[in-house]
Amino acid sequence: MMVGPFPPPVHGLATTNAAVRSHLEALGAEIRTINTAASSLDRSWLARFGRLPSALRGWARLATMRGLHRATIYLSVSGGLGQVYEAAFIALARLRGMRVFVRHASFAYIDAPTRLARILIALTGPSAVHVTQSQGMADRLQTIYGIPLIIPISNAVLYPQGEITSICVRRELRVVGFFSNLSAEKGVFDFLDLMTAIEAEKLPLQAKLAGLYQDAQTERTVHTRLKNLHGARYLGPVYGTDKEDFLSGIDVLVFPTRYKNETEAKVNHEAMSHGIPVIAYGRGCIPEIVGPDCGMVIDPTEPFVPAALAQIKIWLNDPTAFEAASRAAAQRFAETSAQNERRWQMLLSDLTGNSEILIGRPLSKQD
């Protein structure tokens, strides 16, 4: 049983859940899904309250479904009041005698611990398996909440690895890209500020933006800003081959996220797997993914544009250094994926009931 948001709408947590489901289905697992997704990306209170009917249907389904004793529930935990819904699912799953796997998908309650998160974690019980996206995230969760069993698995394992070839390595910086849901908290206005500074200094760069708008106000503001930028284009949401074309058409990913729930950010892995260096704010797990050899991580308390602009100038003036950063980005993604693959296979084996390697067993950092 998988509980959490699935597309649509498209956002990082929903697409990650869908990818996990696809991996389990490929192993022949029978997956029953309770989709708790909101109807849109709108973050208003009304939109969040709109999740209640789907949650009620999910609780009723979980309460009445037969044959759940010792079955598995895999649930994604959000960063705010959505944990009220999720805590109820966990409590009900425990009452039904299910094996509990919890994926932590937010840094909000790590950066600012909450009573609600403590209640939810207590409800999971001592034998639950908790999944994070990095060792640093696991260490902080364990310190704050005293969780006995945490397995760090980077989402890099969910994305295909390509060979590092001359095709994916960038040799010259010409196009900077922004690829995310378009919102202030994901940094779209910081990206536009950066492009304004780039054009003011007459640097020979173009810009491409892709993604869904979070709301109508953001769409209007971005369109107005784009009219004053000569070298920036918005391409809309991109999926499948359109996404591959977008990634093939940019040389650097700029990701000035201010999102309090940010963990790794799927876009960083997707960019680096294509040999694209990343300039990002150091939210969540991002400092554990992006190194100085393959991009730049900026302290979230510092202004984004001056630091990002300085790095871009370095790469423009030194194509050899930029090519090295591109090659390092692809290499870093491959290493991250390989380092996490064994743990990922252990988790899949436990989720499908083929073993109980993890349930109730403390994990060492060597596992």
Residues 110 and 244 in one domain: no
Residues 318 and 273 in one domain: yes
Q: Is residue 243 part of a domain?
A: yes
Q: Which helix (H) or strand (E) holds 204?
A: none
Residues 191 and 98 in one domain: no
Residue 367 has pLDDT above 50, yes or no: no
Residues 193 and 307 in one domain: yes
pLDDT band with cut points at 50, 70 and 90 for residue 29: confident
Domain of 22, CATH number, reads 3.40.50
pTM of the complete model beyond 0.85: yes
pLDDT of residue 160: 66
Instruction: Give me the chain's average pLDDT, please.
Output: 90
pLDDT band with cut points at 50, 70 and 90 for residue 167: low
Taking the CA of residue 244 as centre, how many other CA atoms within 13 Å lie in the half-sphere pointing to its CB? 6
Q: Which domain holds residue 289?
A: 175-334
Domain count, the chain: 2
What percentage of the chain reaches a pLDDT higher than 70? 90
Domain of 181, CATH number, reads 3.40.50.2000
> How far is 186 from 189, CA to CA, in rounded Å?
9
Residues 123 and 247 in one domain: no
Most confident of 39-48, 68-77, 137-146, 357-366: 137-146
Taking the CA of residue 194 as centre, how many other CA atoms within 13 Å lie in the half-sphere pointing to its CB? 32
Amino acid at 306: P
Contact of 147 with 221, CB cutoff 8 Å: no
> How far is 129 from 196, CA to CA, in rounded Å?
46
pLDDT band with cut points at 50, 70 and 90 for residue 285: very high
Q: Is residue 342 part of a domain?
A: no
Q: Is residue 123 part of a domain?
A: yes
Residue 106 has pLDDT above 60, yes or no: yes
Q: Is residue 358 part of a domain?
A: no
> How far is 239 from 78, CA to CA, in rounded Å?
24
pLDDT of residue 50: 64
pLDDT of residue 134: 96
Contact of 240 with 261, CB cutoff 8 Å: no
pLDDT band with cut points at 50, 70 and 90 for residue 166: very low
Residue 364 has pLDDT above 60, yes or no: no
How many other C-beta atoms can be found within 10 angstroms of the C-beta atom of residue 331?
A: 15
Contact of 262 with 244, CB cutoff 8 Å: no
Q: Bridge-partner residues for 253, per DSSP? A: 177, 278
Which tokens go with 225? 């800003």
- Domain end call among 152, 167, 200: 152
Q: Is residue 366 part of a domain?
A: no
Contacts for 337 with CB less than 8 Å, ≥ 6 apart: 154, 156, 157, 159, 161
